[in-house]
Structure 1
Amino acid sequence: MSLENKVAYITGGTKGIGFGIAEALVKAGLKVAISGRKQTDVEKAKQDLGGDNVLAIASDVRNFEDEQKAVEQIVATFGKLDIVIANAGLGKFAPIDQLSLEDWNAMIDTNLTGVFHTLKASVEQLKANKGYYISIASLAGTNFFANGAGYNASKFGVVGFTQAAMLDLREHDIKTTTIMPGSVTSHFNEHEPNEADGWKIQPEDLGQMVVDLLNLNPNVLPSKIEVRPTKTK
């Protein structure tokens, strides 16, 4: 895929992995739309990214109408949409007997249903432009762990959803990949990044991975990518 004049949309693009991907795509010369639930957050991220080729959108992926409006705004601003990166997500961790209904629903609605909403809202643009759809899953999408039942369920779902969608979308010349990171330096689960996170995958590393995917030969499709830190602490 030639990146010249391409337009990308990244959900959860205000910080962490989403911001790292947005930063890499802006540097690669793409026009980039980022979304988050709070307008103040997306406006600050837009300012930090710089340039006139960044669009800040307030959208909650749990709400399909929000995602529809986001795609409409992107097309109205940039004329089209080529690349969609479904990144928005959250984690709530507790033993299953203590996991609340609210936390379960928040994870499923955001991490899994939100990924579907983003694709559903953008798929016609991707079909028209022979685009690329990428979901950010997790190694928790194949590796279960104690206190992670809700998060595991959501990320196992994202992996299954994206791989099945890949088989559907390839018939429309749309490439589809799910990226499954391990430990990443980010604000996930209310963590504040610090020097002790140096051993982890950095958001900019995943940004470069996305750029590399977009630059691959059109005949090549890495449909599922597991990525880990080289070392553990």
Structure 2
Amino acid sequence: MINLKNKVAYITGGSKGIGFGVAEQLLKAGMRVAISGRNMQTVKKAANDLGTPENVLAIASDVTKHGDEASAVKSILEKWGQLDVVLANAGVGHFASVDELSEEDWHQMVDTNLNGVFHTLKASVEALKVSKGYYITLASLAGTNFFANGAGYNATKFGVVGFTQAAMLDLRKYDIKVSTIMPGSVASHFNDHEPSEADAWKIQPEDIGELVLDLLKMNPRTLPSKIEVRPTRPDLK
């Protein structure tokens, strides 16, 4: 996939943060990008902010619902006739001691972070078989490093890593490449955070975008299947 001109990407949770940063970088590389989120008004604003309306498609989709994701992929294929790259980026986090974590918060994380990546892959895999495309999940260093108050989040992100690695083995026979990216602290809107200059030490969303481009430009014979990425100087926070 070294030539990215007019390739088509779908990014869940693409209206802000990491998803938006990746969309910006892919558009700069000449790709066409569909972004989705639960709130269509928010997604449309993000699409307008990306500034290239002919190459951007705004989609309302809740990744916890397979039907929404199937409809999203259908819309992409109807508009552009192909789907080459999928970034399963949508995610939520609730942090509390396991004895205080609510059932509602637990289920929301499982439904979004874990079930969501399955729904997105299930909806897009046939199109990716045709394009010999790339499926990427956005996991976290929380998918390998557990921490107090993170039982629910850890469980889902450990699950995303395991799911993605197994999917990689299942799908490579179709020439579909599958990778998971595991960032540490990112200056994003995750968990209702508002990025500011105080986040300058963190990974920036566009950095993840550049990393995705590096994966897409990798020689097809080589697959970085699990990528850990962290701030260089966390001591500057």
- Give the TM-score normalised by structure 1: 0.99
Residues 1:22 and 2:32 are matched in the alignment = no
What one-letter code is carried by the residue in structure 1 that aligns with 2:42?
D
Match of 2:123 among 118, 121, 136: 121
Output one character per residue of 1:26-59: Cα deviation in whole Å (capped at 9) or x when no partner: 1111010000000001100000001110000000
Aligned match of 2:103: 101
Distance between the aligned counterparts of 2:137 and 2:172, measured in 1?
15
Rounded Cα–Cα distance in structure 2 between residues aligned with 1:24 and 1:78: 19
In structure 2, distance between residues paired with 1:5 and 1:205:
22
| Deviation of 1:189 (Å) | 1.1
Displacement of 1:4: 2.0
Q: Report the Cα distance in structure 1 between the residues aligned to 2:186 and 2:5, rounded to whole angstroms.
A: 29
1:169 aligned residue: 171
The residue aligned with 2:4 is 3
1:150 counterpart SS class: helix
Return the offset for 1:5. 2.0
Worse-matched range after superposition: 187-196 or 222-231: 187-196
Corresponding residue for residue 155 of structure 2? 153
CA distance in 1, matches of 2:46, 2:139: 22
Matched to 2:96, the amino acid is A
Is 1:36 aligned to 2:37, yes or no? yes
Moved over 6 A (4+): none
Equivalent runs, 1:41-120 vs 2, <5 Å: 41-51=42-52, 52-120=54-122
* Counterpart-to-counterpart distance in 2, 1:57 and 1:209: 24
Aligned mates of 1:57, 1:157 — CA distance in 2: 26
Q: Identity of aligned pairs, percent?
A: 72
In structure 1, how many angstroms separate the alpha carbons of the residues matched to 2:18 and 2:122?
22
How far apart, CA to CA, are the structure 2 residues paired with 1:134 and 1:167? 14
* 1:199 match: secondary structure: coil
Q: Specify which of 141, 152, 160 is matched with residue 143 of structure 2.
A: 141
The gaps in structure 2 that reach 5 residues or longer are: none
Match of 2:213 in 1: 211
| Alpha-carbon distance in 2 for matches of 1:129, 1:193 | 36
Q: 1:196 aligns with which of 198, 201, 207?
A: 198
Code of the residue aligned with 2:181 in structure 1: it is: I
